[in-house]
């Protein structure tokens, strides 16, 4: 197969199965490989040397953990009264005051919680899983894909929830597309450069992948229903079940039901995904138990100054007094959205400019406690995510405590962009009212069963002013290399210095590379 025909073939796979399918095919063909994580090996040499770490999120604590093992004296300055940064869980009794003064007190029942920041862990995030194993952080499956959940899209007759269950949307989309491709391939109209043998295998694959009959058509039948589900399920003995009617391709396209079908196929979202038992902050607490003695809490950094022999941070303490802390070296994990507002002295102009060029994503989450788990009891939905084109964008159902007769908490909204900004501009009470209204369009019981909730608009969170570093092609090319480089005795770390933006994996990988580079530099100074 020529290089061009490979490209055409991969392009066709991508059009039919999405980016994840194309990526998997590239792996099969030996053209791509999964990312790897290498455990940092700092073989001593840190004794008598100090490292100042700015920020006590995962990147900061991981940096401190690894460097203190190599003998360095470490100190962490953390803005909050807790460690973890965006690795954050809100439980009943917790209080949170956002920029602008809105204060919320969570009223969730005991054992219930919401993760306003990261909320899931892919199985290929090897750095995170390494520390989970080392620290004994217990993980449980996070249900990303549930074929019983809903896709909720505007159509000619208004918004109507459609089950992914019975593969009504996904299987029908595969079937219709496979039928069209089968016709085109059979008539020799696919200009893909495939060999005769490849074409025969493609036709065979389309029949199996698209559930086509012997005539190459996707139609209502018992065979098709074994994939998409039945109108009446099979029973015992002479009850084969009643086949279901596929959704027409025109309806699938008109209601844009295809737009959320590939969520579970994205590389980041493939099974198995995990979450820590009891809340996402389990990892933060595990790190904190090991490096908490090095953390100065409620320390708001106002200036960073680099000299030829040290880095000094000026900060305001909890009592309002101004103090300083210094280290021979500095790993700064403060988000760029905050760092861009801090006075920098002795830092080269390229770095100072790059820090100001990366915006942070606006994002909004709402954790809603309902009086009963109606999504399970009424709709047979156990975990997973329903997608909607309403402003709340999705509803994520808890992946634990199934069949509980008590209350339950769902992620009732996860919004980005303008919708997130508009929602965050409302009062907490108004936000929850709107979120419940949106939830009720998928689950009518939501209006009656609402109990309480808590909301977080990330661009109003004082210690980040945004969800994560938002790069485009230009800023990746022009500023990202500068942000990733060591600058004298100072180096940045965090999800913004990784290609895993917005993921804890990015923070941990950035910490790994930062401590290795800083240790190498420190060793050269001996």
Residue 408: pLDDT band (50, 70, 90) is very high
97, 449, 412, 230: CA torsion to nearest 10: 170
User: What SS3 state is found at 121?
Assistant: strand
Q: Supply the pLDDT for residue 70.
A: 94
Helix (H, G, I), strand (E, B) or coil at 66: helix
Mean pLDDT of the chain: 86
Residue 420, pLDDT above cutoff 90: yes
- Cis peptide leading into residue 240 (ω within 30°): no
pLDDT(66) > 90: yes
- In this predicted structure, the answer to whether residue 326 has a pLDDT above a threshold of 70 is yes
Q: 332: which 2 tokens? A: 């700064």
Residues 6+ apart with CB under 8 A from 209: 174, 178
pLDDT recorded at residue 199? 66
Give the CA diameter of the chain.
Answer: 86
Degrees (nearest 5) of the Cα angle 185, 189, 194? Answer: 65
Structural tokens at position 367: 């954790």
Q: Running DSSP on this structure, what letter comes out for residue 138? A: -
Higher pLDDT, 23 or 526: 526
Q: Which residues are annotated as a binding site for substrate?
A: 120
pLDDT of residue 266: 59
Q: What pLDDT score does 380 carry?
A: 93
- The H or E element spanning position 283 is helix 282-291
Residue 61 has pLDDT above 50, yes or no: yes
Count of positions (residues) in the chain: 526
**Which three-class secondary structure state does DSSP give residue 496?**
helix
- pLDDT (average), residues 502-524: 94
Residue 465 has pLDDT above 70, yes or no: yes
Higher pLDDT, 20 or 197: 197
Q: How far apart are CA 317 and CA 334, in angstroms?
A: 17
Measured CA distances, 337 to 270, 361, 365 (Å): 31, 10, 19
**CA torsion angle 503 356 421 143 (round to 10):** 0
- What domains sit in the chain, N to C, each tagged with a CATH number? 3-31+148-269 (1.20.1440.240), 50-82+284-357+470-524 (3.50.50.60), 90-119+361-460 (3.90.660.10)
Q: Which of 244, 243, 182 is nearest to 209 (CA)?
A: 182
Dihedral in degrees, nearest 10, Cα atoms 352, 62, 84, 367? 100
Those residues whose C-beta lies under 8 Å from the C-beta of residue 15, and which sit 6 or more positions away, are none
Nearest to 18 by CA among 220, 268, 247: 268
- The pair phi, psi for residue 369, each rounded to 5°, is -95, 125
Crossing angle for the helix pair 504-524 and 58-69, to the nearest 10 degrees: 40
pLDDT class of 136 with cuts at 50, 70, 90: very high
Average pLDDT of span 131-136: 97
Q: Which of 253, 272, 297, 226 is nearest to 84 (CA)?
A: 297
Query: Is 93 or 152 the better-scoring residue by pLDDT?
Result: 93
Query: Rounded mean pLDDT of 257-263?
Result: 56
Q: Which 3 state secondary structure label does DSSP give 238?
A: coil
Tell me the three-class secondary structure of 501-519, residue by residue.
CCCHHHHHHHHHHHHHHHH
Average pLDDT of span 324-350: 97
pLDDT mean over 441-451: 97
**Residue 141: phi, psi to the nearest 5?**
-65, 135
> What are the binding residues?
117-120, 301, 495
Q: Is 80 left (phi over 0), alpha (psi -120 to 50) or beta?
A: beta
Q: What is the reported pTM?
A: 0.82
Residue 458 neighbours by CB under 8 Å, 6+ apart? 116, 360, 361, 362, 363, 364, 365, 420, 464, 466, 467
Q: How confident is the model at residue 29 (pLDDT cuts 50, 70, 90)?
A: very low
Flag the least confident range among 106-115, 223-232, 359-368, 503-512. 223-232
Name the packing angle between helices 170-186 and 3-28 (round to 10°).
150
pLDDT at 42: 85
Per-residue model confidence as pLDDT tens digits over 158-187: 567 777 654 455 667 677 776 776 777 676
- Residue 63, SS3? helix
Are 306 and 346 a contacting pair, CB within 8 Å?
yes
pLDDT at site 197: 72
Structure tokens at 138: 């217990």
Task: Dig out the tokens for 6 from the structure.
Answer: 């490979």
As a whole number of angstroms, the distance between CA 285 and CA 188 comes to 60
Q: Is the pLDDT of residue 214 over 60?
A: yes
State the Cα–Cα distance between residues 6 and 1, nearest whole angstrom: 7
Predicted confidence (pLDDT) at residue 228 exceeds the cutoff of 90? no
Question: Binding site residues for FAD, as ranges?
Answer: 117-120, 301, 495
Residue 451 has phi, psi (to 5 degrees) of -115, -65
Output the pLDDT for position 36.
Answer: 56
pLDDT tier at 238, thresholds 50, 70, 90? low
Spatial distance between the Cα atoms of 241 and 225, rounded to a whole number of angstroms: 9
User: What is the average per-residue pLDDT within 483-489?
Assistant: 97
CA-based angle 55:60:64, to the nearest 5?
A: 125
């Amino acid at each position: 197969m020529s290089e061009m025909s490979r490209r055409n073939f991969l392009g066709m796979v991508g059009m039919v199965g999405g980016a994840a399918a194309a990526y998997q095919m590239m792996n099969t063909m030996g053209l791509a490989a999964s990312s790897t994580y290498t455990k940092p090996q700092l073989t001593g040499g840190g004794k008598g040397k100090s490292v100042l770490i700015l920020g006590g999120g995962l990147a900061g604590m991981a940096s401190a953990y690894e460097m203190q093992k190599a003998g360095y004296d470490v100190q962490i300055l953390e803005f909050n009264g807790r460690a973890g940064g965006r690795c954050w869980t809100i439980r009943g009794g917790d209080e949170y005051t956002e920029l602008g003064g809105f204060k919320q007190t969570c009223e969730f029942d005991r054992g219930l919680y919401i993760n306003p920041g990261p909320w899931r862990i892919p199985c290929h995030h090897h750095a995170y899983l390494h520390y989970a194993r080392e620290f004994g952080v217990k993980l449980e499956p996070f249900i990303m894909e549930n074929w019983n959940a809903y896709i909720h899209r505007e159509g000619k007759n208004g918004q109507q929830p459609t089950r992914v269950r019975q593969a009504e949307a996904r299987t029908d989309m595969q079937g219709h597309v496979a039928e069209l491709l089968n016709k085109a391939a059979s008539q020799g109209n696919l200009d893909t450069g495939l060999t005769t043998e490849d074409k025969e295998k493609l036709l065979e694959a389309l029949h199996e992948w698209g559930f086509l009959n012997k005539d190459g058509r996707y139609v209502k039948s018992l065979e098709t229903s074994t994939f998409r589900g039945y109108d009446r399920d099979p029973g015992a003995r002479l009850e084969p079940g009643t086949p279901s009617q596929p959704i027409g391709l025109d309806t699938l396209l008109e209601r844009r039901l295809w737009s959320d079908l590939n969520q579970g196929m994205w590389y980041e979202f493939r099974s198995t995904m995990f979450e820590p038992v009891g809340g996402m902050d389990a990892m933060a607490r595990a790190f904190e138990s090991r490096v908490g003695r090095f953390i100065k809490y409620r320390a708001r950094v106002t200036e960073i100054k680099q000299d030829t022999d040290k880095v000094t941070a000026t900060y305001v303490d909890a009592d309002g007094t101004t103090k300083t802390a210094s280290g021979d070296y500095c790993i700064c994990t403060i988000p760029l959205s905050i760092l861009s507002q801090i006075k920098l002295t002795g830092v080269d102009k390229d770095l100072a400019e790059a820090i100001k060029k990366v915006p942070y994503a606006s994002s909004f989450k709402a954790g809603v406690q309902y009086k009963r788990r109606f999504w399970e009891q009424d709709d047979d939905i156990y975990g997973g995510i329903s997608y909607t084109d309403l402003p709340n964008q999705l509803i994520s159902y808890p992946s634990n405590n199934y069949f509980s007769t008590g209350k339950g908490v769902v992620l009732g909204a996860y919004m980005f962009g303008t919708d997130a900004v508009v929602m965050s501009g409302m009062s907490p009470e108004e936000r929850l009212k709107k979120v419940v209204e949106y939830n009720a369009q998928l689950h009518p019981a939501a209006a009656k069963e609402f109990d309480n909730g808590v909301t977080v608009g990330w661009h109003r969170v004082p210690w980040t002013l945004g969800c994560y570093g938002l790069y485009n092609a230009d800023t990746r090319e022009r500023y990202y290399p500068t942000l990733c480089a060591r600058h004298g005795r100072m180096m940045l770390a965090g999800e913004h210095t990784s290609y895993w933006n917005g993921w804890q994996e990015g923070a941990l990988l950035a910490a790994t590379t930062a401590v290795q580079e800083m240790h190498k530099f420190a060793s050269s100074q001996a």
